[in-house]
Structure 1
Amino acid sequence: MNVITYSHARNALKTVLDTVVRDVDVTIISRRDAEGDAVVMSLAHYNSLMETLHLLSTPANARALAHAIEQDRAGQAQPRTLLEADGD
């Protein structure tokens, strides 16, 4: 995670954007006078975070995912063949 000033972000916006996309990281833009800081991240990183929040949003789904991770770590994972889409 990088922290930069508003002035630096304004002067180097392309570099800031290229960095967050390349590094799959976030950059915090710090502003003076308690105006509130901001976070810059790639759309892919944002979408990934939103998907994770969605998958963990219900206790039952969170438990199922935790159980699947435990099984994988214990070497109990089994490969499966994916079904083909119907083309609808």
Structure 2
Amino acid sequence: MASGEFTVKDLRRILHEAAGEGDGAAVDTNTMDTDFIELGYESLALLETGGRIEREFGIQLDDETLFDSTTPRALIDAVNAQLTVQEVS
């Protein structure tokens, strides 16, 4: 299980593992506020991404949180919020 902060680098790696290296656009600091759909990531890729994040970081992301996080920045913030709750518990 990973610990600490969830970063754009973590998200990029996990998205590529979940969706495949050739699928979707690069997620980086320039695309943090671009919708995942515009980046080429559809709901199945995001579900797989959410599952991988949960396993690797030891958190729970409900479907509502996952699908309300429509941009990389929003998903990173949601994951980090869960990590903060986990650290406090």
The question of a shared fold, defined as TM-score above 0.5 by the shorter chain, is answered with no
Alignment TM-score, normalising by the size of structure 1: 0.32
Alignment TM-score, normalising by the size of structure 2: 0.31
Kindly indicate whether structure 1 or structure 2 has the higher relative contact order, using CA contacts under 8 Å at least 6 residues apart. 2
Structure with higher helix content: 2
